[in-house]
Chains A and B, each alone.
Chain A
Amino acid sequence: MKHTLTISALALMAAGAAQAQELRFMCYQDGVECEAWADAFATFEAENDGITVIVDEVPYAAIIESLPVQLEVGEGPDLARVTDYGGLARFLLDVRPHVSDAASIDARYGQSLAWSRVGDNAADGIYHIVDQLTATGGFANATLFEQAGVDMPGPGATWDEWAEASRAVRDATGVDFAMAIDRTGHRFAAPAISYGAALFDDDGHALVIDDGFRAFSEQFVGWHADETMARDVWAGAGGGTYQDAAGEFINANLVMYYSGSWQIGRFDRDIGDAFDWVATGGICGPAACTGMPGGAGIVGFNHTQHPEAVAKVMEFIARDDVQAQVLARTRNLPANANLQAEGIAYEGVSDDVAAALTAFASSVPGFSDTAFALQGYQFNRAVYTTIPARITQAIVGELSLDEALERLEQDVADAIAAAQ
């Protein structure tokens, strides 16, 4: 009798172990994203008996550097929060066959879902759910404008108008810099598209140097020569190194800063009441007023032992109520169309932050298709890292602009060829 009980207990434990599915979720956070998801997963686990999601918080560098190596050798987590959809595309799990309502996910996340439908991935696959839509755009120091007595350009203002106004404010107030753009091709792409750059050829290959791209490049290099742009940001580094100018903006040493919505939380925390700042939304060129979309999303990996469980997590993450709850805490923009229409009731945000979030959110629907296409391009990282390397050479006079643009086109082509 004793033996029978023991064997039964062991059999039950074995069956339980076989049913229990533990999923590892590698997560990085700009603010409190991982904490918000860890809390949300408590609800998921209550609704899905036997599935546990363990959130492993890691630095962003681990997502960029370690995760691809782990995946390459068939290791790594079941889920992760990533930004490089194109680079990781071949490792991603298509959850479409496992979710109960794929059409609803398509309808709500349609535009961003395309970002990982690249290479050999299915054209209708569901590979990721964006939980932090970002949009590039400008920030202006309203207090400096007020002190200088210069009218701040309004919605729909052009890059030229912003440059002129920012120079006037800089000269009147004595701060060091009029304008700055983060040193990355991602930020550079938005004004280039606004100046008419098509970026892709008819076959969908980047990078095409056309009149629009050349026009903004010329303008950008010129703005460095006449010191409209903070030289320290682009000329202060080499290669494809990323560099931002947030520190100068926070120190009220910069009039207008082109970065993105992910800076809102940092500005709210670090600037506080020191001065007033506003988000400018999209800035216009002759052809468009676009910014660049981007952002982090949650993906499942095709090496997972539990694809159905991963799909359940992804479907949970995509739910409107779950997204609304997490976004309210993380203060990020929604990629979910329903939530974009309804708006998010952000928790405990100041008026400046609320206005900035609204300005960025309302600018996204006006973004150009080219901007979305570049964000979903499999080799967009080659474009993003090569632009600063070559344009900087033109800024510091190592190459003429024509030589730099020729090299830029060749570098991207070489990098793509080497990867294929």
Chain B
Amino acid sequence: MIGAVRLIYEGAFNLFEGPMRWLQRSLGTQRMVWVFLLPNLLIFGLFTYLPILLNAWYAGTSGDRILLGDRPWVGAANFATLLDCESYLNPNSCRRDLFWRAVHNTGWFVVLQVGFMVLLSLIAALILNRNIPLKGFFRAVFFYPVLLSPVVVALIWKWILQRNGVLNAGLDWAGMGTVNWLLDPNWAFFWIVFVSIWANMGFYVLILLAGLQAIPSDVYEAAEMDGTPAWRRLFRITLPLLTPTLLVVMVLSLIRAVQAFDEIYVLTGGGPGSATLLLIQYIYDVGFATRPRQFGLAAAASLMMAGVLMVLTLAQLAATRKRGEDG
């Protein structure tokens, strides 16, 4: 049976051998690489680069029609509208105040979410890297929320945080009074950061754990023999050797934080008011949720966001490279 399968498998591959040899003879070895790359490039071009180009084109048009031919060309007008501000620090002074509120909210969200996420992930990874009881169980506990759909995560937390939710029931039972967690702008913002960390932390803990386990144990053994205290081992061995992994975690979590949408949309809908409105939701609202749909404005906002993300990513990569060269 196994022999038959093997024969079929080999036969299938041999089917390609003839045409491939012919192709290589016709194109030459140098050009042959394009034959293998082409299918991937085509798929990538069709589903990634073409949409980016279309997005850029849409950003220069206006109207609510979908077909590009029906959309009047307005050049940079959509960008000018978004950037029309007396002071970028005061959204109320901007023509598109909601865009700038979303920019401010996203900025704070990224700073708080990425900062706390990296810190908490690091602490969790350090603890889970030690020989503690039920280590496997706790690793699973941290990773479990990553497996959940963002909508499920948001619905679970909505049931916990709403007026008659689990948290308020507990507080009420303890005689501490209740709070409308999602109706107060500050609390709502706190909870979107918290829930986002809760939902994504496991993924970064896993990456950091892998980084920690890659540090050779003999370095620690030597430090221990020298009588180096634990805090010094952390700051002089663990963190420096973990830096490349930490930078990866920071880049990934930063990109993901800027792209945050689904959990927050289900949990707060961007409210109360615009307290938890982030950039992606603004783009979604303008382009799809409100009528008439302003695809041009949404496309311009998404291009601006992509630009900022690219700058941040390049800056982090440059920092990594510099560190590599220095180190």
Interface residues, chain A, with chain B CB atoms under 8 Å away? 65, 69, 72-73, 84, 87, 176, 231-232, 235-241, 243, 379, 381-382, 384-386, 389, 392-393, 395-399, 403, 407, 415-416, 418-420
- Inter-chain CA distance A382–B276, complex, in Å, is 22
- Inter-chain CA distance A48–B209, complex, in Å, is 72
B252 to chain A, nearest CB (A): 27
Q: Is the interface of B mostly helix, strand, loop or mixed?
A: loop
- Inter-chain CA distance A381–B289, complex, in Å, is 10
A32 to chain B, nearest CB (A): 28
Residues of B within 8 Å of A235, CB to CB, are: 183, 271-273
Given A240-B289, A384-B291, 6 further pairs, Cβ under 8 A: A236-B269, A236-B272, A241-B271, A392-B273, A415-B294, A420-B63
**Does B292 sit within 8 A of A, measured CB to CB?**
yes
Residue from A69, A236, A403 within 8 A of B182 (CB atoms): A236
Can you list 21 contacts pairing A with B, beta carbon distance less than 8 Å? A72-B65, A84-B291, A87-B292, A231-B180, A231-B183, A232-B163, A232-B180, A232-B183, A238-B270, A238-B281, A239-B274, A239-B281, A239-B290, A381-B291, A396-B273, A396-B275, A397-B273, A399-B273, A415-B291, A415-B292, A418-B292
With A232-B183, A235-B183, A240-B289 known to touch, is A418 a contact of B271 (CB < 8 Å)?
no
Among B92, B271, B289: residue with most chain A CB under 10 A = B271
Q: Is the CB of A392 within 8 A of B271?
A: yes
Residue from B63, B292, B297 within 8 A of A382 (CB atoms): B292
- Inter-chain CA distance A236–B266, complex, in Å, is 11
Residues of B within 8 Å of A392, CB to CB, are: 271-273
Q: Is the CB of A379 within 8 A of B292?
A: yes
Residues of A within 8 Å of B292, CB to CB, are: 87, 379, 381-382, 415-416, 418-419
B281 to chain A, nearest CB (A): 7
Q: Which of B264-300 contact A (CB under 8 A)?
A: 268-277, 281, 285, 288-292, 294, 296-297
B50 to chain A, nearest CB (A): 17
**Does B4 sit within 8 A of A, measured CB to CB?**
no
Residues of B within 8 Å of A416, CB to CB, are: 292
Binary per-residue interface labels of chain B (20-49) against chain A in the complex, 1 for a CB within 8 Å, 0 otherwise: 000000000000000000000000000000
Binary per-residue interface labels of chain B (57-95) against chain A in the complex, 1 for a CB within 8 Å, 0 otherwise: 000001111110000000000000000000000001000
How many chain B residues touch A (Cβ–Cβ < 8 Å)?
A: 35
**Does B262 sit within 8 A of A, measured CB to CB?**
no
B18 to chain A, nearest CB (A): 43
**Does B211 sit within 8 A of A, measured CB to CB?**
no
Residue from A384, A399, A418 within 8 A of B64 (CB atoms): A418
Among B62, B162, B274: residue with most chain A CB under 10 A = B274
* Interface contact tally, CB-CB below 8 A: 111
B249 to chain A, nearest CB (A): 30
- Inter-chain CA distance A313–B276, complex, in Å, is 48
Residue from B92, B180, B182, B285 within 8 A of A399 (CB atoms): B92
Q: Is the CB of A72 within 8 A of B66?
A: yes
Q: Is the CB of A393 within 8 A of B290?
A: no
With A240-B289, A398-B273 known to touch, is A176 a contact of B63 (CB < 8 Å)?
no
Q: Is the CB of B289 within 8 A of A385?
A: yes
With A238-B274, A239-B270, A239-B289 known to touch, is A72 a contact of B296 (CB < 8 Å)?
no
- Inter-chain CA distance A389–B162, complex, in Å, is 21
- Inter-chain CA distance A394–B306, complex, in Å, is 32
What residue in chain B is nearest A420 (Cβ atoms)?
A: B63
Q: Which of B218-270 contact A (CB under 8 A)?
A: 268-270
Residue from B67, B268, B281 within 8 A of A72 (CB atoms): B67
Q: Is the CB of B92 within 8 A of A403?
A: yes
Q: Is the CB of B67 within 8 A of A241?
A: no
Among A69, A232, A379, A382: residue with most chain B CB under 10 A = A232
- Inter-chain CA distance A419–B66, complex, in Å, is 11
